[in-house]
Amino acid sequence: MITFLSGGTGTPKLLLGMRELMDESDISVIVNTAEDLWMSGNYLSPDIDTVIYLFAGILDTQRWWGIEGDTYATHEEIRRHGGEEYLAIGDRDRAVHILRGEMLRRGLRLTECTTSISRIFGVRAQVLPMSDTAVNTIISTPEGEMHFQEYWVRFRGEPKVLRVHRRFEAPPITTGEALSTIAESAAVVIGPSNPVTSIMPILECRGIKEAMKGKTVVAVSPFMGDRPFSGPAAPLMRAWGLEPTAMDTYRLYRGIATLFIQDVRDPYRIKGAYAMDTLMSDRKKSIDLAEEILQLVEQGG
Ligand code: GDP
């Protein structure tokens, strides 16, 4: 068993390769939920949905979210009636959000909802939310504070980022299921996801860092040179006083990751890090990187 810490794009690209090389039931994924939100009465867990759809083989891998070939009849109708829905939610995707919202209203934990939805799609990998309680990544901008999805989707990442912080009623705690899966795993892989909005929310959950102590923990940089491969990581890293580089990611994960992978194209080498081609532009490149990482895990570094 290997446990992956994942957001909704970079790490799922790596999982695409991993599922070709490992038995799916030996893959466990602890997923960021700090981008979750209620919309039109339903519960969206964008990163969890991406990971489930990936294993189900129905993910739209052009956008890395949503279901391939989905239709948008309900979304268009809601917009026509003046609804505020700023995320283009597909009809089949929405069915999942409706089911999840119903399960949560009935009192199920997010972990139970996720297991149930994984079963519906025949997913054999274990997909787990980082926590069962709500936490959101909030972006402070000159126009005010907003949920990460508002910043990135509604306002297309245009507002200046002044501060990034988490909002919650109670500090999030790692679930018992996530702790057990780490305990059973030969290694933990911190995938190449956005450190500020995807990985740190997971690592901030109480109990997870302690659970990872003594394990082989491989972290993969989501940056090449001084920029992300995609997405808004650069201004978000800078808001934390960090540069969007492998070096600052390495510093952020110091004391947590035991092995660090940077991209071969980085203009500098981090002492002790492994350099690999981490650009997963197609399925083959995802498999190649996954293979190299598995070899590294087997050798223990
Ligand atoms: P989000 O939840 O959609 O924001 O996605 P993630 O946090 O999982 O992933 C976003 C990060 O993935 C960005 O910082 C990208 O730089 C990184 N990323 C995307 N594609 C690749 C890739 O092919 N290789 C690597 N190393 N990083 C990638």
Q: What is the pLDDT of residues 190-231, one digit of tens each?
A: 999 999 999 999 999 999 999 999 999 999 999 999 999 999
Q: What CATH number does the domain located at 2-135+176-299 have? A: 3.40.50.10680
> Is 66's C-beta closer than 6 angstroms to any atom of ligand 1?
no
Looking up tokens 């498999």 gives: 287
Ligand 1 atom closest to residue 222's alpha carbon, by position in its atom list: 27
Q: What is the pLDDT of residue 300?
A: 75
In whole angstroms, give the CA distance from residue 295 to residue 301.
9
Q: Whose CA is nearest to atom 25 of ligand 1?
A: 222
> Is 137's C-beta closer than 6 angstroms to any atom of ligand 1?
no
- The alpha carbon of 10 and the centre of ligand 1 are apart by a number of angstroms equal to 3
Q: Whose CA is nearest to atom 18 of ligand 1?
A: 10
Dump pLDDT digits (tens) for 1-19. 999 999 999 999 999 999 9
Dump pLDDT digits (tens) for 77-118. 999 999 989 999 999 999 999 999 999 999 999 999 999 999
Average pLDDT over residues 239-253: 98
- The alpha carbon of 124 and the centre of ligand 1 are apart by a number of angstroms equal to 24
Does the pLDDT value for residue 176 go beyond 90? yes
| Residue to mutate, 36, 164, 230, ligand 1, most ligand atoms under 8 Å from C-beta | 230
**How many other CB atoms are there within 10 angstroms of residue 111's CB atom?**
18
Does the pLDDT value for residue 237 go beyond 80? yes
First to last CA, the chain: 17
pLDDT mean across residues, the chain: 97
Under a CB-based contact definition with an 8 Å cutoff, are residues 238 and 244 in contact? yes
Dump pLDDT digits (tens) for 118-136. 999 999 999 999 999 999 9
Average pLDDT over residues 50-72: 98
- The alpha carbon of 232 and the centre of ligand 1 are apart by a number of angstroms equal to 10
Q: Whose CA is nearest to atom 20 of ligand 1?
A: 10
The pTM of the full predicted model, rounded to 2 decimals, is 0.98
State the number of CA atoms in the 13 A half-sphere of 299 facing the CB.
Answer: 7
Looking up tokens 């000159």 gives: 142
Looking up tokens 């679930």 gives: 175
- The alpha carbon of 120 and the centre of ligand 1 are apart by a number of angstroms equal to 27
Q: Backbone phi, then psi, for 219, in 5-degree steps? A: -115, 140
Q: What is the pLDDT of residue 77?
A: 98
> Is 147's C-beta closer than 6 angstroms to any atom of ligand 1?
no
Strand-strand pairing, 144-147 and 135-141: antiparallel
Does the pLDDT value for residue 301 go beyond 80? no
What ranges do the domains of the chain cover? 2-135+176-299, 137-167
Dump pLDDT digits (tens) for 195-204. 999 999 999 9
Q: Whose CA is nearest to atom 14 of ligand 1?
A: 194
> Is 63's C-beta closer than 6 angstroms to any atom of ligand 1?
no
Does 300 or 145 have the greater pLDDT score?
145
> If phi over 0 gives left and psi between -120 and 50 gives alpha, with beta otherwise, what is residue 68?
beta
Portion of the chain with pLDDT greater than 90, in percent: 99
In whole angstroms, give the CA distance from residue 205 to residue 27.
21
> Is 17's C-beta closer than 6 angstroms to any atom of ligand 1?
no
In whole angstroms, give the CA distance from residue 171 to residue 175.
13
> Is 249's C-beta closer than 6 angstroms to any atom of ligand 1?
no
DSSP symbols for the chain: -EEEEE-SSHHHHHHHHHHHHS-GGGEEEEE--TT-EEETTEEE-HHHHHHHHHHHT-B-TTTTSSBTT---HHHHHHHHTT----S---HHHHHHHHHHHHHHHTT--HHHHHHHHHHHTT--SEEEESBSS-EEEEEEETTEEEEHHIIIIITTT-SPP-EEEEEESS--BB-HHHHHHHHH-SEEEE-SS-IIIIIHHHHTSBTHHHHHTTSEEEEE--EETTEESSSSHHHHHHHTT--SSHHHHHHHTTTT-SEEEEETT-SS--TTPEEE-----SHHHHHHHHHHHHHHHHHT-
Length of the chain: 301
